[in-house]
Chain A
């Protein structure tokens, strides 16, 4: 028999966990999950087909749980990095509340469950895409690219860009140009978003040995690339209107937001020294979140209003 209060070495068994449900919720990266739900919902409502509310809800839940599982597996693998970075040092594994093995088991269980559920409630293509998203985030990004190349978040950004495609496919069973445009917007948005933060936190990434762009290519090169990606993003942001699946209102909103994004990126490019440079980078980082939210919220609200009008008619 074992006296639980004792350490592993005395009892011969692992101590019983004192982790609460909130620690397991933290493993799912709830803030990332909320962005995934939001973008996947936009993909879902973008589909021309009517989706039953129960099926739509269950599909979104499966996509959200799949994203959370990928987050838990990311924390399992990156526990060593998380422990030395200020931003991540309070996560459940570095603080000792959850063991790596528990996070691995939790992540794998949820990943399998989410993929099977999406296959059952929606279709096999959506389930396969969700499985690919989890695989891409955990294996391609976390295990391979993150510690290898400063292009880590450029290529790894594909995982974060896939949820609207998964949402669209869950509703229709096929991929469309509209879904791919949403994918492209998030894909091109990811580098300036993360590099703006990395400019300010480069010391943190350096200590952890993560080759982010400012550490490897220098801050100046990072500022230039942020500006280039911002220009491409501003152009891509207007595409939903140009291609006809968003209204002229969206066209005006996306053009204004794109111009503001490029303006902030230009400030980051010009101001390179001192506190003001850091403030500019953090302002761009904050605005990038607002930019993506407003763009998708505009598409989402247009679709919801259109379907409500159709319902009333």
Chain B
């Protein structure tokens, strides 16, 4: 098996530095999204009030 086909069989191979930074980016995005969910929930409660769920079906 030559070198090119060996690489193909492995797919995309990240360097340790790329793996570490991607993991850190993923954690940061996760935390940011989680924080925004909580923030928009709180804003909704403040703007609409707790009666937001109390409506006729």
Which residues in A have some Cβ–Cβ distance to B below 8 Å? 1-5, 16-21, 24, 52, 54-55, 57-58, 61, 120-121
* Distance to closest chain A CB from B16 (angstroms): 10
Q: What 7 A-B pairs come out closest when comparing CB atoms?
A: A21-B28, A3-B7, A1-B8, A20-B21, A54-B46, A18-B21, A54-B42
Complex Cα–Cα for A4 and B7 (A): 10
Please name all residues of chain B whose beta carbon is closer than 8 Å to the beta carbon of A21 when the two chains form the complex.
Answer: 24-25, 27-28
Complex Cα–Cα for A57 and B43 (A): 10
B53 lies within 8 A of chain A by Cβ: no
Cβ-defined contact, B18 with A18, below 8 A = yes
Please name all residues of chain B whose beta carbon is closer than 8 Å to the beta carbon of A16 when the two chains form the complex.
Answer: 12, 14, 18, 22
Q: A19-B25, A21-B28, A54-B43 are in contact. Are A1 and B12 (CB under 8 A)?
A: yes
Nearest neighbor of A61 in chain B, beta-carbon distance: B39
Q: A4-B12, A121-B47 are in contact. List 10 more A-B contacts (CB 8 A).
A: A3-B7, A4-B13, A5-B13, A16-B14, A17-B21, A18-B15, A20-B25, A21-B25, A57-B39, A58-B42
Our pick among B7, B15, B47 for the contact of A55 (Cβ within 8 Å) is B47
Nearest neighbor of A3 in chain B, beta-carbon distance: B7
Please name all residues of chain B whose beta carbon is closer than 8 Å to the beta carbon of A52 when the two chains form the complex.
Answer: 46
Nearest neighbor of A52 in chain B, beta-carbon distance: B46
Cβ-defined contact, B39 with A58, below 8 A = yes
Please name all residues of chain B whose beta carbon is closer than 8 Å to the beta carbon of A5 when the two chains form the complex.
Answer: 13, 15
Q: Which of B13-42 contact A (CB under 8 A)?
A: 13-15, 17-18, 20-22, 24-25, 27-28, 39, 42
Q: A1-B7, A4-B14 are in contact. Are A121 and B24 (CB under 8 A)?
A: no
Please name all residues of chain A whose beta carbon is closer than 8 Å to the beta carbon of B42 when the two chains form the complex.
Answer: 54, 58
Nearest neighbor of A2 in chain B, beta-carbon distance: B12
